[in-house]
Amino acid sequence: MSAHVHVPKVNILVGVWASLIVLTILTTLISHVDLGAFNIVAALLIALVKASLVVWIFMGVRFTTSLTKLFVVAGIVWLGILILLTYSDYSSRHWTYHPQPWNKTKIPMFEK
Amino acid sequence: MADAVMPVAHEAISPEEEVYLKHHFATPGQQMDADTLGMWTFLITEVLFFGGMFASYAVYRNMYYGAFASTSRYMDVTLGAANTAVLICSSLTMAMSVRAAQLSKRAELIRYLILTMIFGAVFLGVKAFEYHSKYVEHLIPGLGFQYEQFPQYEHNAQILFFLYFAMTGMHAIHMIVGLGLLAWLVWGAYRNKFNSLYFSPVEMIGLYWHFVDIVWIFLFPLLYLIGDR
């Protein structure tokens, strides 16, 4: 058999499976407690940990080449750009005055 | 494999390996790395495809926070969590399938592939049941949508339900495609196509299956868990 094949150990795979199940139960339980704004943070953090476990162990990225790892990271970065730029547009729209018919427009710099 | 910067044909290639080596690759290792890199490139396009929907979810949730939070009362958290567990089990059996293929264990490979398909089918069955409940409860956006508990959100809550059906529907379509690919793998394994020298299709479809699992890992908290309950 070729030297480049990494056969994962069964106990590691089952361990990841058990962790994923425990994290699913945990995130469901946490959602029943009102933590205010922290609810979404906790839910997304747990989802992130679960996704990382799947990528690193189940998808075997730990055994892949540096080039594949770079691609995976690049994918995450591009997803970050997609969400960050979209979100920064929508969340900053009310920072500037809304265009209105010119006779109703009040431009702050001309008010004083 | 971190040192495989310049693939050179210095590895001794056995005649058995030669059978599975495409002529444009120097070594089996290079062929495997190329398969993996290509599959990941495809998966990254999938990440961005789903990412667009996740971004619109984030934007609308920020815009209509109350309406979005109110919808989680209509989601069945128990079913959602159970379905998450089912998908995680299918990911384990998929990983075990790849392992069985790597070790040339044909019977085990077929068994784990079929188990993966069963888990996938259970997931889709539960999803269909949930869709039916939404239909019965008049929660299909546009089609006689009724939101009597929160009449003030009747308009904006439909955006969430639209995203719910778009995202879980697109996820379900990926599952159906995955089931078709798994059936093809079972057929290949039945005809003894895969062994320790050639298991690339099992591993690549495995990557796809795990990716679909990851999408659900994010859909579950965003659609079912966060909100007012």
- The contacts of residue B117 (CB under 8 Å, 6+ apart) are B179, B182, B183, B186
Interface subset of A 12-41, CB within 8 angstroms of B: 13-14, 16-17, 20-21, 24-25, 27-28, 31-32, 39-40
| Residue B203 to residue B207: CA distance in whole angstroms | 6
Q: What is the pLDDT of residue A2?
A: 47
- Asked whether residue B90 is domain-assigned, the answer is yes
B188 is a domain residue: yes
Which B positions 117-156 lie with beta carbon below 8 A of chain A?
A: none
Q: Is residue B3 part of a domain?
A: no
Window from A6-15, B7-16, B47-56, B71-80 with minimum mean pLDDT:
B7-16
Contact B66, B41 (CB under 8 A): no
Give me the residues of chain A with pLDDT under 50, please. 1-2
Q: For chain B, where are the alpha helices, taking DSSP H only?
A: 15-20, 28-63, 65-71, 77-102, 106-136, 154-190, 200-220
Mean pLDDT along residues B62-69: 88
Question: Tens digit of pLDDT for each residue in B168-227?
Answer: 999 999 999 999 999 999 999 999 999 999 999 999 999 999 999 999 999 999 999 987
Nearest 5°: the CA angle A13, B194, B38 is 75
Per-residue pLDDT at B16 = 85
In a domain? residue B176: yes
Contact A54 B48 (CB under 8 A): no
**CATH number (domain holding residue B200):** 1.20.120.80
Residue-level pLDDT at B81: 96
Encoding tokens for residue B199? 């298991």
Could you give the C-alpha distances from B136 to A30, B123, B132, B133, in angstroms and in order? 29, 20, 6, 5
For residue B11, is it within any domain? no
Domain that holds residue B77: 34-224
* B83-97 mean pLDDT: 97
Query: pTM here?
Result: 0.90
Q: With 50 as the cut, is the pLDDT of residue B128 above it?
A: yes
Question: Which of A35, A91, A76, A26 shows the shortest CA–CA distance to B221?
Answer: A26
Q: Counting Cβ atoms within 10 Å, is residue B24 exposed (0-12), middle (13-18) or buried (19+)?
A: exposed
pLDDT of residue A1: 41
- Report if residue B18 sits inside a domain: no
Give pLDDT, residue B101: 96
Residue B19 counted as domain residue: no
* Window from A37-51, B1-15, B91-105, B145-159 with minimum mean pLDDT: B1-15
pLDDT of residue B17: 86
Cα–Cα distance, A67 to B221 (Å, whole number): 32
Phi/psi-derived region of residue A102, left when phi > 0, alpha when psi is between -120 and 50, beta in every other case: alpha
How far, CA to CA in Å, does B107 sit from each of A19, B110, B188, B190? 28, 5, 12, 8
Query: What's the gap in Å between the CA of B144 and the closest CA on chain A?
Result: 30
Q: How far is A105 from chain B (nearest CA, A)?
A: 25
Q: Tell whether B17 is covered by a domain.
A: no
Q: How many domains does chain B have?
A: 1
Looking at CA atoms only, how far is residue B101 from chain A in angstroms? 10
The confidence score (pLDDT) of residue B7 equals: 52
Give the model confidence (pLDDT) of B199-211 as tens digits.
999 999 999 999 9
